[in-house]
Amino acid sequence: MMRRPILPFLALSALAGCTSSQSAFVPQGAEAERIDTLLRVMTIGGGIIFLGVILVTAFAMLGGRRVRALLSSERFINGAGIAFPTTVLTVLLVYGFLIMGAGATNQAPANGLRIAVSGELWWWRVTYTDPDGNSFDTANELHLPVGEPVSIELTSADVIHSFWVPSLAGKLDMIPGRTNTLTVTATQPGITRGQCAEYCGGAHAFMSFHVVAQPREAFDEWMRREAGLALAPEGEAAERGAELFLSAGCGGCHAVRGTGANGTIGPDLTHVGGRRSIGAGMLPNDAAAFRQWIVDNQHIKPENKMPAYDIFSEAELDDLSAYLEGLK
């Protein structure tokens, strides 16, 4: 009686993994395209070999005496059991090295753009540095120019994380005290999703991010806006929220450039209202989500470093949410 409800649940769970926003089967980057090609070659080749083994097994079981004698001969065993797999595996190994560029030295992009991503419990600190050496921080969202190789410097502030955007490239570990470099080239505009692929603690599954690939003109415009100071609050509610943000001590953990908030413990909130989600992919980006996160973040993402702020009145929560939503 209890088995029937499980079947629809399993089916829905399987379908949930079919979304193209975080799928290695829908490559949108040069590196992911090479991985996809290698996967298809090895899958098709492995399937053909598997069918061949099944046929040989069937002949060995059902064939006549002459067929069995042939299959058990020393020549057949040496050829099919030693020479054939050795040759195939060697060819596949060399092909895999060539197509994935194993051992190749990644060249720094000619445009001088540098992006550093630090994995933290449980969110992503993203630092952009332009060719002139100017830098700024953002969080949980990565923007890339289409058609240009970009080197992403990966590290961790606490435990081992793993940076993985299946649609763009393979995964690479983020290790405290070490910087690993991943070069990605987005081949088309669009929004994809990434995820931490190394268990890093209780909220590991709630540590995702978005990658936005844009044409160069749109990317430059985004860089210009994102590097700027926070917009002045519009409306009385947002103005009250800005004052409350500073007086309540939020600026001790979060930075809002152009204000007295210069904390570095938590994500930079200078343009948080313009991101696609809050809480590293946990909630949509609107006033209601900000309100929910402020008072219930420990339930949404257990053990994160932000305490649940239940000290605010309903009116104060409305003001704070209006201010944060307006930080576009």
Task: Examine the pLDDT at 13 and tell me if it is beyond 80.
Answer: no
Tokens (6 digits) for 2: 């209890």
- Determine how β-strand 180-184 pairs with β-strand 150-156: antiparallel
In whole angstroms, what is the distance from residue 31 CA to residue 38 CA? 11
User: What 3-state class would DSSP assign to 209?
Assistant: strand
Encode pLDDT of 101-137 as tens digits.
Answer: 766 655 656 667 899 999 999 999 999 998 888 899 9
In whole angstroms, what is the distance from residue 175 CA to residue 11 CA? 36
Prediction pTM value: 0.83
Phi, psi of 119 (to 5 degrees): -80, 130
In whole angstroms, what is the distance from residue 308 CA to residue 37 CA? 47
Task: Examine the pLDDT at 27 and tell me if it is beyond 80.
Answer: yes
Rg (CA), the chain: 26
Encode pLDDT of 135-158 as tens digits.
Answer: 999 999 999 999 999 999 999 999
**All residues at 6 or more sequence positions from 15 whose CB lies less than 8 Å from its CB, including other chains:** none
Encode pLDDT of 54-88 as tens digits.
Answer: 998 888 888 888 888 888 888 888 988 899 999 99
Encode pLDDT of 264-305 as tens digits.
Answer: 999 999 999 999 999 999 999 999 999 999 999 999 999 898
